[in-house]
Chain A
C-alpha cells in the first residue's frame, strides 16, 4: 500500500507525493531523460515534466513510475492546466479502466 502526503491529477496521470518511495520501486526502473510521462495516442497529447530539476523513471509497461524533484518542476499537457510540483519524491500512476470481468488496462488518451 502506498501512503501519500498529497495527490495531484492531470487527466489520466496521477501523482502522489510520498515521504519515501517504496523499496520495490528501485528495481527495474528505467530513466526517462526527455521527461515524457506518457505520450497520447492522438495528436501528441503528452504529459511532460518540464523545467526545474527532476528525474523521471518508469517501469514495467510504463504505467507506474517515480519522480524525484530536486528543484520545483511543472507537469504540462496541451489540453490541461499545468501542475507545479515542489521538491520531493513522487509516485506516478496512470488511471485504469476495466476491459472485462476481471481485467483492466490503463486509460488511453
Chain B
C-alpha cells in the first residue's frame, strides 16, 4: 500500500470491482493491526504536500523503525536505537534528498538538497514567495544567488562545501559564513555587482595562490601570505641563502617549497640522512640545517640546529629540549 516515500493516495475500498483512491496531500494516517507473527503493531505516517514526511512503526508503543524525511533511517536494535546507514561500514555515505525550512540572507524559504555517497550534488532554495534563490549543480560549478525579489546577490563559481551538510539534514550551504561555502582543492570566485569580492583556493588546509578578500589582493604560498613581488619572482631567481636565515619557520618552508627543497643541496653538503630527514652543513653558517617533514601537511620544514649536530635524530631531539629538560630521547604517542 505504501513504501518509504511517495504515499500520495490511500485505497479506500472497492466498489463494483473498482478501487477507490483518495489522494492525501497533508495529514496523518494511523494503522493498527497484527503482523505475520500475530504481534500487534501500529504504523503512523505523516504526509506533507503529498509526500511521506515521517513514517514510524511501533511495537508495544515503542518505535522499532523510523524514517524521517531529511534524516537518517533508524531502527531499534539490541542496544536500543540504531542509525541505519545508507552505505554500510562508512557511516557517512548517504543517498537521497532532504528538505528544510530555513532563512538565508534574512529571507525565509525551503532548501532542497540532493546527495550521492554523502556528497551534495544539487541544492535548490525556493523562497516562500515561490521565487528561486539559487539552483546549484555540482557538475556545473556555477550559480547565481538572488533575493526574494529576483535581484542578483552573488554570482559564484566553485565546488560548494556540502560534505558535512548531510549530517545536518539539508541546511543551505549559504547558511554558513562565506569562508565556509567552498570545498578544499578547487578554486572559487564570488562576485557581487560584477566585482570579485572573495576568491582563492585551499590545498591541504592551506591557502595557495592569489586571493581576494574584501576587494584586497593577497598572495599565498603554502598558507603564508607573501608580498606580490616575492610571489611573482621566478623560483630560479630566489636565493636559498637569503631564505634560510628568515626567522619564521613557516615562511622559510613556503619559500623553500617554491624553489624546490632540493636547491639547498647546491649551497650545502649533506651530513646525514634518515628517511625524510636530512642534515645539511652550509659553509659560513653558524648553524646546521635539519630538513624535517610535517606528518599532517607533508611540507618540508628547515630547522636550524647546533653546528656540532651529526645525526638527524640527534638534531631533532635537540629541538625537543633533550639534553636540557629531558634526559632520554622523546618518543611521541601522537605527532601531527
Contact = CB atoms under 8 A, between A and B. Distances in A.
Interface string B89-128: 0000000000000000000000000000000000000000
Interface string A28-42: 000000000000111
B321 A93 contact: yes
Contact of A43 (B224, B307, B319, B326): B224
A70 B306 CA distance: 39
Contact of B250 (A14, A45, A96, A100): A45
Contact of B249 (A1, A97, A98): A97
B250 A41 contact: yes
Contacts of A4: 326, 330
A10 interface: yes
Nearest to A2: B325
A99 B288 CA distance: 10
A11 B250 CA distance: 11
B71 interface: no
B333 A101 contact: no
Interface residues of B, number: 37
B12 interface: no
Contacts of B294: 11, 80
Contacts, number: 97
B336 A80 contact: yes
Contact of A99 (B248, B249, B304): B304
Nearest to B335: A9
Interface in A72-92: 78-83
Given A42-B223, A42-B248, A93-B325, A78 B336 contact: no
A108 B224 contact: no
Contacts of A96: 318-319, 321
A109 B253 CA distance: 10
Nearest to B288: A98
A109 B333 contact: no
Interface string B238-260: 00000000011111000000000
Contacts of A41: 248, 250
B180 interface: no
Interface of B: 204-207, 223-225, 247-251, 286-288, 294, 296-297, 303-307, 318-321, 325-327, 330-336
Given A1-B325, A99-B287, 16 more contacts: A8-B332, A11-B294, A41-B248, A41-B250, A79-B223, A80-B294, A82-B336, A83-B334, A96-B321, A97-B249, A97-B305, A98-B286, A101-B306, A107-B249, A107-B303, A108-B249
